[in-house]
């Protein structure tokens, strides 16, 4: 069988082009969701984020309370009201869930109503994030010492204490495939033991 040099040449050129695109350090990166940026003071003013198709909520936040000199500095105060009485303390490294009011109008060009935002302002205009604890999260309430009774409380909405989590980064952790491969991380009871200091 006579080799068709022209077809072979075209095949080599095509293969080379595909390899260059796939291996190039400048290859296109898949677009992912964005997260809110803090203002010049490090404060977050909204838990809504504008995307290509309107606004969406940033519901998961990471507690990054800096280490202090005392044991009490290892947890973030969560208060009954913005800058009010302390209701519980949440350990550094915990993932907390923002609580939005009502049904925010999302996926629209217009921003949602401020009253539905998970971030509220105190009398001084300082922003606070409304959050809710659950047994799936490493929240550690001092009183009551029960996840189901934690309820809603407020933490300071500042980059010094919390950071927004990109919603796209959570998809792998909430998928069935991930839980089948790493079932240990999908056990709420184990997370509860770890956060409350219990021994299995």
In DSSP notation, 132-168 reads E--TTS----SSS--GGG--EEEEE-BTTTEEEPPGG
In tens, the pLDDT along 126-154 reads 999 999 865 544 444 444 445 555 578 99
In tens, the pLDDT along 56-103 reads 889 999 998 776 655 556 688 889 999 999 888 888 888 889 999 987
pLDDT of residue 12: 42
Backbone angles phi, psi at 130, to 5 degrees: -80, 125
Domain-by-domain residue ranges, the chain? 36-165
This prediction's pTM? 0.64
In tens, the pLDDT along 169-190 reads 776 555 444 444 444 444 444 4
pLDDT of residue 200: 39
pLDDT of residue 83: 96
Interatomic CA distance for residues 71 and 75, integer angstroms: 8
């Amino acid at each position: 069988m006579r080799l068709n040099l022209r077809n072979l040449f075209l095949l080599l050129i095509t293969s080379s082009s595909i390899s260059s695109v796939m291996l190039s350090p400048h290859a296109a990166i898949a677009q992912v969701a964005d997260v809110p940026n803090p203002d010049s003071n490090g404060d977050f003013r909204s838990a809504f984020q504008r995307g290509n198709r309107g606004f969406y909520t940033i519901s998961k936040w990471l507690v990054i309370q800096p280490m202090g000199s005392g044991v009490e500095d290892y947890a973030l105060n969560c208060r009954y009201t913005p800058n009010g009485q302390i209701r519980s303390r949440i350990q550094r490294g915990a993932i907390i869930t923002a609580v939005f009011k009502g049904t925010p109008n999302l996926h629209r060009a217009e921003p949602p109503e401020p009253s539905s935002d998970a971030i509220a302002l105190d009398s001084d205009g300082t922003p606070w994030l409304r959050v809710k604890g659950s047994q799936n999260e490493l929240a550690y309430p001092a009183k009551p010492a029960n996840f189901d009774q934690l309820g809603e409380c407020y933490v300071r909405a500042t980059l010094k204490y919390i950071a927004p989590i990109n919603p796209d980064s959570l998809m792998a952790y909430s998928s069935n495939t991930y839980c089948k491969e790493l079932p240990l991380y999908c056990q709420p009871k184990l997370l509860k033991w770890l956060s409350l200091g219990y021994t299995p």
